[in-house]
Amino acid sequence: MRPALLYHRRHVASSLRRAYAARTAHPPRRQTARPQPIDPAYPVGEPSSPANPPATPPSSFAPWILGALAAGIGFYSLQIYLAASKPCLNPHIADLAAQKDVAARYDYTATSFDSEVGFSELLMGVNGLRKELARKCHGDVLEVSCGTGRNLGYYDIEGQDAKVESLGFIDLSPQMVEVCRQKWVALFGNQKAQQKLMPGLKVRFMTGSALGDMPLAPSGKKYDTIFQTMGLCSTASPAELLDNMVRHLDTSQPESRILLLEHGRSYLPWLNRVLDNSAEKHAELHGCWFNREIGQLVEQAAEQSGLEVVSERRHHLGTTWVFELKPTEDTVKKARADLPVAATRQREKEDQGGWLNKLGWK
Ligand X SMILES: C[S@@+](CC[C@H](N)C(=O)[O-])C[C@H]1O[C@@H](n2cnc3c(N)ncnc32)[C@H](O)[C@@H]1O
Residues lying near ligand X in the complex (CB under 6 A) = 103, 106, 144-147, 150, 171-173, 176, 209-211, 229-231, 234-235, 288
CB-nearer residue toward ligand X: 157 or 176: 176
CB-nearer residue toward ligand X: 106 or 205: 106
Supply the minimum distance, in Å, between the C-beta of residue 313 and ligand X. 17
Supply the minimum distance, in Å, between the C-beta of residue 234 and ligand X. 4
3-state SS, 33-83, equals CCCCCCCCCCCCCCCCCCCCCCCCCCCCCHHHHHHHHHHHHHHHHHHHHHH
Residues present in the chain in total: 362
Q: Are 325 and 331 in contact (CB under 8 A)?
A: no
CB-nearer residue toward ligand X: 234 or 331: 234
Measure CA 271 to chain center. Answer: 18
Residue nearest to ligand X (CB): 147
Supply the minimum distance, in Å, between the C-beta of residue 248 and ligand X. 12
Supply the minimum distance, in Å, between the C-beta of residue 315 and ligand X. 15
CB-nearer residue toward ligand X: 217 or 288: 288
- Cα gap 27→314, rounded to integer Å: 71
End-to-end CA distance of the chain: 118
**Which residues sit opposite 223 in a β-bridge?**
249
Supply the minimum distance, in Å, between the C-beta of residue 140 and ligand X. 18
Query: Residue 110: enclosing H or E segment and its boundaries?
Result: helix 106-124
- Cα gap 107→103, rounded to integer Å: 8
CB-nearer residue toward ligand X: 148 or 305: 148
Q: What angle do CA 287, 293, 296 make, to 5 degrees?
A: 135
Supply the minimum distance, in Å, between the C-beta of residue 70 and ligand X. 32
